[in-house]
């Protein structure tokens, strides 16, 4: 009986911690939908927008570019999005004190594996999957499964299966 109580208390502590992390994230961002879950340490900027049913398991967003996460987004652990770079075309070498800001758009039903890095100026298309450890430096087409450094599509999801599940509302 004591084990059950201890287990129950540990679960409550986990869910309370997760609720606090989610509340902090929602308070930080520009706009958010419903059913957002932050399950690990995440850092967001005011320029972030979340769709519905977004799940973050460790995400850091750096920079002042706008970042949009579509509906049903899922991230692995330790993901990073960088939306600015030093201005190397400025008044000093190797760069000056200004930044170049670039937006990131992540469309609906995208899944990022663990430790994915996304650089500014890219769009990740609907239903895409990015393999763990990849670096996304250019646009990824819809339904692509991409990986590597730089991330490139090496396979595509089954289009009929994907759209059938989407039509049935089978979202996790």
Quote the pLDDT of residue 14: 46
Cα 101 from Cα 51, distance rounded (Å): 22
User: For position 28, what pLDDT does the model report?
Assistant: 78
Architecture of domain 2-168: 3 Solenoid (2.160)
Q: Which of 66, 74, 84, 86 is catalytic?
A: 86
Distance (Å) of CA 31 to CA 49, 72, 90, 109, 114: 5, 15, 33, 18, 25
| pLDDT tens-digit map of 37-52 | 888 888 898 999 999 9
**pTM (two decimals):** 0.86
Active site residue 74: no
């Amino acid at each position: 009986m004591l084990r059950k109580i201890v287990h129950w208390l540990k679960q409550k502590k986990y869910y309370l911690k997760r609720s606090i992390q989610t509340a902090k994230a929602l308070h930080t961002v520009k706009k958010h939908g419903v059913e957002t879950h932050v399950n690990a340490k995440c850092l967001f900027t005011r320029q972030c927008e979340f769709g519905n049913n977004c799940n973050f398991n460790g995400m850091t967003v750096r920079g002042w570019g706008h970042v949009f996460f579509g509906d049903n987004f899922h991230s692995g652990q330790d993901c990073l999005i960088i939306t600015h770079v030093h201005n190397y075309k400025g008044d000093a070498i190797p760069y000056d004190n200004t930044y170049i800001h670039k937006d990131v758009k992540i469309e609906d039903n995208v899944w990022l594996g663990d430790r994915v890095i996304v650089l500014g100026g890219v769009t990740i298309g609907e239903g895409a999957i990015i393999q763990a450890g990849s670096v996304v430096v250019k646009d990824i087409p819809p339904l692509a499964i991409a990986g590597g450094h730089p991330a490139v599509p090496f396979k595509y999801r089954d289009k009929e299966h994907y759209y059938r599940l989407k039509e049935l509302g089978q979202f996790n």
